[in-house]
Structure 1
Amino acid sequence: MKTLTYVSTKSVNELTWPTTTDNITTYSPALTVFTDFYVAGPRVIESNTPADELVQLMKKEHVRMKIVVDAENHFIGVISLEDLSEDKFIKRVADGYKRSELIVADLMRSKESLLALSYSSLKRSDIESLLYSQKDNNYQHLLVIDEESKTIRGVISSNDIARQLRLDIDVSFSNFAQTYESAILGHKVSMRKLKVA
């Protein structure tokens, strides 16, 4: 058995922070706004989780999107706060579901309906090109696939881009289209408020 060493915190005043890149611009490499699952593991949720429970969990964790997996941890889709809006719950109840019985699988976007960005193309791109390619994307997140390993390598968040570029937009419910308008076209974007269930 190894002995552990303990040290007093009395003389410690600073915290260690992740290394950040200052002066990020639209000409910076797109990888500067990429969340790599090799570095920060994916946020996952099982498809059979009660949807109401997930809403509370995501609010508590301050997370806006989770990767949906089956019982064997295989990727089957994504779910975001947009998918868990009160409007989406109302539509499902109108379709005959009981709200209390709705699970993540009932509200998620399945992998068959998603498009993802190639990791190899992301490595060769800058933020401006990334935003231009997503100028019509009304979602907040974009998956990135490593085509060599056939895995979801990571995710890009429009909110992370807006924060890194210090854009004057409300990132609470912004999306790629709005981030593009603000960053590339210079338009101040008005945000619609989405009521989360």
Structure 2
Amino acid sequence: MTAAPKVLVFAGSSRQGSLNKQLARLVAKRIEALGGVATFVDLKDYPCPLFDEDIETQGIPENVLKLRKLLADHQALFIASPEYNGFITPLLKNTLDWLSRPYEDTPGLALYSGKWAALVSASPGGLGGIRAMPLAQQLLANLGLIVLPQPMSLSKAHTAFDETGAFIEETNSKKLDALCQRLVDILACTSEKILL
């Protein structure tokens, strides 16, 4: 019997009331309910300096090392990516950049190699953060991740959640569950092939 697939979940926002952080928490709950193991991480708890090779030569920051350990222990990333002026957030880019760096015996990008990634986005507007989604997909692919197609964009997200953090509309629940299930199934299938 194969172990349940492990997915690292976070949002590209550190703001306390972030809709994308709320969505990421819901993603983690749904992955657990659908047979996976999810670890939700709040990037606010892992502040990292703006990537700078001068800082890197003095030693990898402690929070980057903690995030590296988390990433190494999971088969996939599931990111709730906000949209800032039609682009991904500086926080998301900076976090992914730090994790792409070589460290000790691990070459650059090695932490991402062979891992899957899935994306969602939430916005109070009508587009649901969709303008930044292709940019996030491109970045993840550039890093060597296998990006699950057909991400989910959640428009009018400020009215989408109930007091428990679940979706009010069943349509949104079905869309998110379908995306989470696809990722869990792919990871489980990949693990079985490795064991064979």
Give the shorter-chain TM-score range. Answer: under 0.3
Larger helix proportion of the pair? 2
Structure 2 length as normaliser, TM-score? 0.27
Structure 1 length as normaliser, TM-score? 0.26
Q: Flag the structure with larger Rg.
A: 1
